[in-house]
Structure 1
Amino acid sequence: MTFTFRIDRRSGVPSYVQIVQQVQQGLRLGLLVEGDRLPTARAVVEATALNPNTVLKAYRELESQGLVQTRRRHGTFVTGSLGATSAESPWRAELAEVAGRAHDAGLERDDLAALFGDVLDDLYPPPSRPSRPSRSSHPSSPSPPAPASSLPPASPSTSPKEPESDGVPHSS
């Protein structure tokens, strides 16, 4: 399998950081494993139109993290690993279902990413900054919306054989 990079020039995230993050994500999802060869810097430059120094900076950063090793004239190879989640994880399917419902409800990708990032920040605060207070503990903030499973049905069920609708589209 050939690992390819996608660079979003509008994201505000430096290109070399995007490369580092994509390799880290590939390692966490099991898409990259020890011994895999990363694309050559030249191949990345040709595919993404990045400056060669940008790609080399990303590869040096990955080396400093102990995740890859560059062997002259042979390439850059994965030497480390991260996490234990696979792309086949049941968590992925559950997250895909939630993302699908958000998409169907009209949320844009960036909106969902912001919400998910906010939830992650609440659950996994960075060690360098103090933990944010929980939204439910702040006296002036409104309580969060009820989970979709506790919302009343959008409309009465038309057939006694069908389960009661919870007002949220589900995929079967």
Structure 2
Amino acid sequence: MVDFRIDRRSGVATYLQIVQQTKQALRLGLLVPGDRLPTAKQVVEATAINPNTVLKAYRELEREGLVAPRPGLGTFVLRTLAHEEAAPDSPLRAELAAWAARARQAGLDRDDVTALVAAVVDEEFTAGPGDAAGKDKGNL
């Protein structure tokens, strides 16, 4: 089961935080098809948010085809977003963990690492197909 963490200072709507955290759990394989999401009541008790907010998030996940409610039973995961390369035992994840450890040893804090990763991801995924990411595209 997933434990939702609500950051009231993030500027992100609460229901979107639940949607994003559920999708992250699906991508990381923490939630798999057949798993039951926490009930609205459980989420409300853990986070002190309005039950309608939880239901709105679950409806959005349902609209995207990721979950489905079963009356009287709960809301269940229909499909995963996980990639084998992101599994806990994957070589790619091990490389990332080693890099994060080196970044921490170099004195970077969580916000520094988050900013650096976001910048590199933006550069990599902004590059068009066949472009060498991070290269001076003006010289191509």
Give the TM-score category using the shorter length: 0.7 to 0.9
In the alignment, structure 2 segments of 5+ residues that lack a partner are none
After superposition, residues 123-134 of structure 1 pair within 5 angstroms as 123-125=124-126
Shift of residue 41 of structure 1?
Answer: 0.7
1:53-97 CA distance string (max 9 Å, x none): 111111111001100001221100001121313222222221111
1:117 aligns with 118
Q: Distance in 2 between matches of 1:36 and 1:116?
A: 30
Q: Tell me how far apart the structure 1 counterparts of residues 108 and 7 of structure 2 sit (CA, whole Å).
A: 20
Q: How far 1:123 moved relative to its partner?
A: 1.3
Equivalent in the alignment of 1:158? none
Q: Give how far 1:138 is off.
A: 7.5
4+ runs deviating over 4 angstroms? none
1:74 aligns with 2:73: yes
Structure 1 residue identity aligned to 2:78: T
8 Å Cα contact 1:31-1:87 kept in structure 2: no
SS of the equivalent of 2:69 reads strand
Q: Could you say if the C-alpha distance between residues 17 and 39 of structure 1 is closer, same or farther in structure 2, counting changes exceeding 3 Å? A: same
Structure of higher RCO (CA pairs closer than 8 Å, 6+ residues apart):
2
**1:143-170 superposed Cα distances (whole Å, 9 cap, x missing partner):** xxxxxxxxxxxxxxxxxxxxxxxxxxxx
Indicate if the aligned counterparts of 2:68 and 2:75 stay in contact, CA closer than 8 A: yes
Query: How far, CA to CA, are the matches of 1:123 and 1:111 in structure 2?
Result: 18
SS at match of 1:76: strand
Instruction: Tell whether 2:42 aligns with 1:43.
Output: yes
CA distance in 2, matches of 1:50, 1:37: 20
Aligned residue pairs: how many? Answer: 133
> Which residue of structure 1 aligns with residue 107 of structure 2?
106
Q: TM-score, normalised by structure 1?
A: 0.69
* Aligned twin of 2:23: 24
Gap change, CA 1:34 and 1:75, over 3 Å in 2: same
Are the aligned partners of 2:124 and 2:134 in contact in 1 as well (CA < 8 Å)? no
Aligned to 1:62: 61
* Aligned CA distance change for structure 1 residues 10 and 3 (closer, same or farther; 3 Å): same
The percentage of aligned residue pairs carrying the same residue is: 59
Q: Structure 1 residues 135, 82: CA separation in 2 closer, same or farther (over 3 Å shift)?
A: closer
The residue type equivalent to 2:114 in the other structure is A
Matched residue of 1:54: which SS? helix
Q: TM-score, normalised by structure 2?
A: 0.84
Is there any run of 5+ residues in structure 1 with no aligned partner, and where?
A: 128-133, 140-172
